[in-house]
């Protein structure tokens, strides 16, 4: 959630910053008004409560002294009714305010380039030269078919469309990749965690998936539980409603989880192959950082993900997202796009974001800064999306006969 006091005090600046993300001034105006109304309602309520408290104290005193309490009782009763009304008002004001506030995306950093969509993203650098093929490279689904690696039909039979089954060496390669990623992250100082794949609503609100993006989540029937769309949710919320000591920062975590997404709104996109599935594996990095240090941590995470791709010999490019392409919670995001010779283009394989204090405010993650409690910065990034890495290996390491080489660094895992 964005800082309401900041919006109140620096309205024009806040409006200008959010414009980059496509939020109109009207919405922000509404937010400011509602915030003012809530404060007013609370002030009135608190005044009445203060009065009630002091009258209640008098009440006890009168009784002890044997004074007549008739008149006081009448006053107290009247005030009680008033409090109930004021409380109702304040509650209403709060509900309305939060409905709006929770749906407003994070401020982008000033350094984020202007732009509408991914067309306006800025390429920062390319790493590794794409291989030159002396034959026509195939797309991953064609290679999968040749090698018997992916059983699309049975995935659909077991579940429904956008599910699949990896078979034989593909399944082994998937597992090898997970291990390779986790080991690499661990060597960089990330603690390895194995977390629940279902989280409750409060956690999903903490990281920003709820309440606005419920339609993209799988919900467990009759339970306050959702299948996680990314390990960012459990890892970041490890410290939900906690106060960390400053020396603990940054907290670096990594974990492998499957990710579950309904992909509502992407019907017809990437239907061939396993680029876009309802369930996919991902190894995630999450950092909880001191606000002054989150930029450093961010750079480290981008470098780490890029290094993993380099170690696998996969050509990729580093792209800074423009304001319009930035996710809901992110203040800044860098995507890594891997080269897919079969598709003849770069495709997203990792997305690293600094959410500043946006998630921290929602999830109440703070640290002790001297005497005061301050919000931390939270960061997350894939290192890496496993299924898409598998695709990248298939396409980049294919031979003319359709067979696929195993990258050197993975051999000890197979």
Catalytic residues: 261, 276, 348, 351, 388
Could you tell me how many helices (H) and strands (E) the chain has, helices first? 12, 15
Task: Say which residues have a Cβ less than 8 Å from residue 115's Cβ, sequence separation at least 6.
Answer: 121, 322, 323, 324, 325
Distance (Å, whole) CA 117 – CA 159: 33
Structure tokens at 233: 């949710």
Minimum CB separation of residue 142 from RNA in Å reads 39
Footprint on this chain of RNA (rule: CB under 7 A): 4-5, 39, 42-43, 45-47, 49-50, 52-57, 59-60, 63, 73, 76-77, 80, 243, 366, 373
Q: How far is the CB of 243 from RNA (least distance, A)?
A: 6
Smaller CB distance to RNA: residue 39 or 126? 39
C-beta of 43 vs 414, nearer to RNA: 43
Query: Given the complex with RNA, which of 53 and 266 has the nearer CB atom?
Result: 53
* Pair of tokens at residue 202: 């409060």
- Name which of 304, 373, 366, 301 is nearest 330 in CA terms: 301
Closest C-alpha to 338, from 171, 128, 183, 122: 128
Pairwise CA distance, residues 171 & 173, whole Å: 5
Compute the least distance from the CB of residue 154 to RNA, in Å.
Answer: 24
Residue (16 or 95) nearer to RNA, CB: 95
What the block records as the tokens of 33 is: 């008004």
Burial of 97 (0-12, 13-18, 19+ CB in 10 A): buried
Shortest distance (Å) from residue 390 CB to RNA? 27
Closest approach of RNA to the CB of residue 405, in Å: 37
Torsion angle defined by CA atoms of residues 143, 149, 155 and 161, in that order, rounded to the nearest 10 degrees: -20
**Which is closer to RNA, CB of 40 or CB of 183?**
40
- By 3-state DSSP, what share of the chain in percent is helix, strand and coil, each rounded to 5? 45, 20, 35
């Amino acid at each position: 959630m964005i800082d309401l006091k900041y919006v109140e005090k620096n309205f024009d600046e806040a409006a200008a910053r959010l414009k980059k993300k496509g939020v109109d001034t009207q919405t922000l105006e509404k937010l400011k008004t509602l915030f003012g109304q809530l404060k007013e309602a609370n002030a009135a309520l608190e005044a009445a409560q203060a009065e009630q408290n002091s009258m209640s104290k008098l009440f006890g005193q009168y009784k002890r002294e044997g004074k007549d309490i008739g008149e006081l009782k009448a006053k107290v009763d009247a005030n009680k009714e008033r409090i109930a009304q004021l409380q109702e008002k304040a509650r209403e004001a709060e509900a309305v305010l939060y409905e709006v506030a929770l749906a407003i995306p994070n401020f982008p950093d000033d350094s984020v380039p202007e732009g509408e969509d991914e067309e306006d993203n800025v390429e920062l650098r390319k790493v590794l030269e794409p291989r030159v093929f002396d034959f026509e490279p195939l797309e991953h689904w064609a290679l999968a078919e040749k090698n018997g690696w992916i059983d699309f039909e049975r995935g659909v039979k077991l579940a429904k469309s956008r599910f699949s089954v990896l078979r034989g060496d593909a399944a082994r390669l998937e597992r090898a990749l997970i291990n390779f990623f986790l080991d690499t992250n661990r060597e960089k100082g990330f603690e390895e965690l194995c977390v629940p794949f279902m989280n409750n609503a409060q956690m999903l609100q903490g990281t920003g998936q709820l309440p606005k993006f419920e339609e993209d989540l799988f919900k467990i029937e009759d339970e306050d539980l959702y299948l996680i769309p990314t390990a960012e949710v459990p890892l970041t919320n490890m410290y939900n409603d906690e106060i960390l000591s400053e020396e603990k920062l940054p907290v670096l975590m990594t974990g492998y989880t499957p990710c579950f997404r309904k992909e509502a709104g992407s019907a017809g996109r990437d239907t061939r192959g396993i680029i876009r599935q309802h369930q996919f594996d991902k190894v995630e990095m999450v950092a909880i950082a001191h606000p002054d240090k989150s930029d450093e941590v961010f750079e480290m995470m981008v470098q780490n993900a890029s290094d993993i791709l380099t170690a696998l010999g996969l050509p990729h490019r580093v792209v800074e997202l423009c304001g319009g392409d930035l996710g809901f919670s992110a203040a800044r995001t860098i995507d890594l796009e891997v080269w897919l010779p079969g598709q003849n283009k770069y495709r997203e394989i990792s997305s690293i974001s600094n959410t500043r204090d946006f998630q921290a405010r929602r999830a109440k993650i703070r640290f002790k800064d001297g005497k005061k409690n301050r919000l931390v910065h939270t960061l997350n990034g894939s290192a890496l999306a496993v299924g898409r890495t598998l695709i990248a290996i298939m396409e980049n390491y294919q031979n003319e006969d359709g067979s696929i080489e195993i990258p050197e660094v993975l051999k000890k895992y197979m």
